[in-house]
Structure 1
Amino acid sequence: MDEYLVALLVIGIILNGIAAVSIVFLERKSPTSALAWLIVLVFLPLAGFILYLIFGQNIHRERMFRIKERDDLFLSKVIAGQQEELRSEELRIPGDYGGRFRGLAMMLLQSTLSFFTMDNRVEIFTTGEEKFAALFREIEAARDHIHLEYYILRNDGLGRKLTDLLTEKCGQGLEVRLLLDGLGSGGLPRHFFDRYLAAGGKLAYFFPSIAPLINPRMNYRNHRKIVVIDGNTGFVGGFNVGEEYLGKNPRLGAWRDTHVMIRGSAAMALQLRFILDWSYASKEYLGSGPRYFPGSTGEQGALLQIVSGGPDARWSLIEDAYLKIIASAREKIYIQSPYFVPDESVLDSLRIASRSGVDVRVMIPRKRDHPFVHWASYSFLGDLLDSGVKAYIYEGGFIHAKSIVVDGLVSSVGSANWDIRSFRLNFETNAFIYDREISGRLEKIFFGDLEHCTLVTPGLYAARSVRVKIKESVSRLFSPLL
């Protein structure tokens, strides 16, 4: 028995040594993340190595995403044209947006290959009942194709209702494609899609599991929530497909999220994102013809850019967009996120904005679905209080919205949380909206949520219990791994 334990210890030390060499010399981890992983390896021999394999290693990222990067290159010709229009000011950005936000639009166009669209109508949903009623209505009205991309689809009443409706549309002769994440939707039974597939529906998984109920890869998940119908109507935001998103989870209670439905050219940008992801996961390339990209209506509407980020990109694209939009603020910044685990650049930008006289407010939920992330979020909020940032804890259920509104002029809604995982490890998509009316509606929603919030004052934060302080300290230490 003693010999067995010694052998196990030696194996653990060797494996931890291999992981440590990989972290320090082979991977481009931030110093903070690298240090956190080294601490785990030192104090948890063998177990630390297993955790590293599941949550940490990324040495195969370049090989994994080489095909994806190649497929994305076909965008470059179209993007180059819009870049020249922005530089030459042939693309007129009306009012305040031309002077203040041209740089943001240019950065997103150049760095994230994000079309600038000017003909959009946008509807905002804050409850699951509203969002799914609209989604089912649009699916029922579809005439040619339906494309869906979700992180989570549950085997429950809502998941089955959606799948049954998609099966019905397949029977009507429509093309229906469903792209799911292999981890988020990995627990579905084998027979779940039998009727859908038999009717002609197509299904693909992003990084599928190697065995039922087992998926060793926690990083590089497809966290996007995208639906495109007939190339002219799109959905993007925070809602997955499951009854908890209707507020039916007894532990989390009422579910408060933000999602948008877009009619216009931005729907084609969502279509492009779906096609690229579908091509990578299914090896079926759909092309860029008029069937999937019907063209602009030519009508003036809301200005939008669809921005996608992920570990296949050179930069932290959505985080860069958040930093740019924060830097543009003159009066107010309102942020909502279920997880607030930012890096120093985001913390510093919010501190600088607040100290410059900008009204900065950040809202996170009281209820928690990931305790470590919750307590880490609370600690980061505490770091902002001395610079004048107002921190709020939402008490009206679980707030899952991922949004920012700046000066009532520019806003963003999508799947990206304000945390390191969304910024660097997961695939995310947000809509950046340059529109006073839509941003004003999002601002009004924020103030409606304030009625269900507790303000975290410096005194209240300082009076937290020793137990809470310990939870914060431990969660904060390992936050780079979350």
Structure 2
Amino acid sequence: MLDFLKSHTWTILIVINYLVAISAIVVILLKNRNPTKTVSYILVLAVFPFFGIVVYYLFGQEYRKTKIFNRKDISNDKVVKTVGDQLRLNGRDLKAVDDLLDDKIKLVKLLKNSDKSPLTTNNSVEILRNGEVKFKHLFEDLKKAKHHIHIEYYVLEDHRIGTELLDIICAKAREGVEVKLVYDDVGSKMSSKMKRKLTECGVEHKPFMKVIFSSLAGRSNYRNHRKIVVIDGRIGYVGGINVSDDYVNFEENNNTRYWRDTHLKIVGDAVKVLQFHFITTWDFVTDGDIEIKTSYFPEITTDSAVAVQIAASGPDTDWANIMEALLTAINNAEQYVYITTPYFIPNDQIVTALQIASRIGLDVRLIIPKNSDSWIAENATNSYLEPLLDAGVKVYLYSKGFVHAKTMVVDDIFSTVGTCNMDNRSFNINFEINALIYNKEKALELKALFLEDLKDCEPLDVARWENRSTWCKFQESVSRLWAPLL
């Protein structure tokens, strides 16, 4: 028997592989998911023994349905319910927002039934261009913290800018300020020495979904891609800028390339929603060990009235909230749609919406990096450009450096800044968060930034793009096969 097993080991392993693969294929078919994604997984399982099973295990689990991320329902907490009731707009405020939108963008109606995405109007919003501006404001606000600091980041590295941030929160913790920190265990790199220092200073810090070999995990896991800071429940930061020297254009950093990004500073009631999402994350990483205090949700008075809705999505949500919000905004646009994203690997709905918007005469423009930080992502992105160009969408390649901003502006009315890329990973896999802003002044400000960025872009010529080499097209086609899995 042993001799038979030894002489037929490879055959036995192949048989086991395909038995498992067939079982997985049956499960995939029964789920009735997107046909393109279904075919992609079936091809990988059928053509690549063993490797296909690993890919399906890492990418193919539908966490939104299986509820593997089964967090405690924070929304049932008494304090959170009270805050939610307070955030519900009165009829006068709702009418003011309706008058502004003029029935052009129905995002409020899309998300209004979710207690986790209330529309708030008592807000001031400051748009922060690039890391050097964001961190200047953030550090000033952190140093003024009196009660608590809550921080959640995908990338947190203890190099120059990260060490400065961590030193500040250590000092605040020594002063008696409550400091809680969540960092993604794949995206972040902190030394054991720094972690010990945080503990000794009194900073509570937890990794999100700890992995054994983070350097090998890459992008394959369901990761927390959010960037949230809440200070004293009054000031909030959200956007695309992580805590890494790569994101800061200081000359002494010797960055290999210029980094273009966008972040928001919010003061007002929308911060309470950011607080809610941080608390939900902290509840997850500590297995429910959190006391929700009324002091986390103080009364806030601002001299501004910017309407803001916080949209969050991830494996723990029933719907792809951010993707649906972006799609609704595009479908209801009447003048223009300006999008900036570092990764453009959209689903069919987004592609069709952009094509239709352009074909009916809207000004649709897209800024993407000329050179991505991922070969396969860049080629997959390129495979989607020709159908957009054919429909009249104007595509621009950012050539000054790397554009990492995730923004969209529509009709001088609606804008969004957040962590969500235009790709499947952001729409369906990672934990993401965006601020949706209904305000003409802020929309015009983001529009001006978009037009300013065009000066550092190369417009993509349709004729030249169609004449690119067969080898380029082949690479794009192969990469596109992986697009539903990326």
- TM-score using structure 2 length: 0.91
Q: What's the secondary structure of 2:165's corresponding residue? A: helix
- 8 Å CA contact retained: 2:101, 2:413: no
**Alignment counterpart, residue 387 of structure 2, candidates 379, 383, 396:** 383
Q: Which residue of 2 aligns with 1:24?
A: 29
Structure 1: state its 5+ residue gaps.
Answer: none
Deviation of 1:271 (Å): 1.1
- % identity of equivalent residues: 37
Q: What's the secondary structure of 2:122's corresponding residue? A: strand
**Structure 1 position 104 matched with structure 2 position 111:** no
Q: Which residue of 2 aligns with 1:51?
A: 55
Between Structure 1 and Structure 2, how many residues are aligned?
476
Change in 2 beyond 3 A, CA 1:71/1:96:
same
Change in 2 beyond 3 A, CA 1:90/1:397:
closer
**Structure 1 position 9 matched with structure 2 position 14:** yes
Change in 2 beyond 3 A, CA 1:460/1:79:
farther
**Structure 1 position 467 matched with structure 2 position 471:** yes
Q: What's the secondary structure of 1:195's corresponding residue? A: helix
Structure 2: state its 5+ residue gaps.
Answer: 1-5
- 8 Å CA contact retained: 2:227, 2:241: yes
Q: Which residue of 2 aligns with 1:152?
A: 155
Q: Which residue of 2 aligns with 1:188?
A: 190
* Aligned counterparts of 1:50 and 1:37: Cα–Cα separation in 2: 11
**Alignment counterpart, residue 278 of structure 1, candidates 282, 289, 292:** 282
Change in 2 beyond 3 A, CA 1:204/1:92:
same
Q: Which residue of 1 aligns with 2:74?
A: 71
Q: Deviations over 1:40-77 (max 9, x none)?
A: 11111011112222232336963423334x23455677
Q: What's the secondary structure of 1:93's corresponding residue? A: helix
**Alignment counterpart, residue 210 of structure 2, candidates 203, 208, 211:** 208
Q: Deviations over 1:251-291 (max 9, x none)?
A: 861000110111111112111111111112112223151x1
* Aligned counterparts of 1:327 and 1:60: Cα–Cα separation in 2: 25
Deviation of 1:299 (Å): 3.9
- 8 Å CA contact retained: 1:257, 1:401: yes
Change in 2 beyond 3 A, CA 1:247/1:44:
farther
Q: How does 1:240-259 map to 2 (within 5 A)?
A: 240-247=242-249, 253-259=257-263
Deviation of 1:138 (Å): 0.9
Q: Which residue of 1 aligns with 2:335?
A: 331
**Structure 1 position 234 matched with structure 2 position 236:** yes
Deviation of 1:315 (Å): 1.5
Q: Deviations over 1:133-182 (max 9, x none)?
A: 11111111111111100001113222222112111111111000101112
Q: What's the secondary structure of 1:304's corresponding residue? A: strand
* Aligned counterparts of 2:68 and 2:42: Cα–Cα separation in 1: 25
- Corresponding letter in the other structure for 2:289: E
* Aligned counterparts of 2:46 and 2:211: Cα–Cα separation in 1: 29
Q: What's the secondary structure of 1:227's corresponding residue? A: strand
Deviation of 1:296 (Å): 3.2
* Aligned counterparts of 1:347 and 1:23: Cα–Cα separation in 2: 25
Q: Which residue of 2 aligns with 1:113?
A: 116
Q: Which residue of 2 aligns with 1:451?
A: 455
- TM-score using structure 1 length: 0.92
* Aligned counterparts of 1:478 and 1:76: Cα–Cα separation in 2: 42
Q: Deviations over 1:417-444 (max 9, x none)?
A: 0111111111111011111111111111
Deviation of 1:331 (Å): 0.8
Q: What's the secondary structure of 2:103's corresponding residue? A: helix
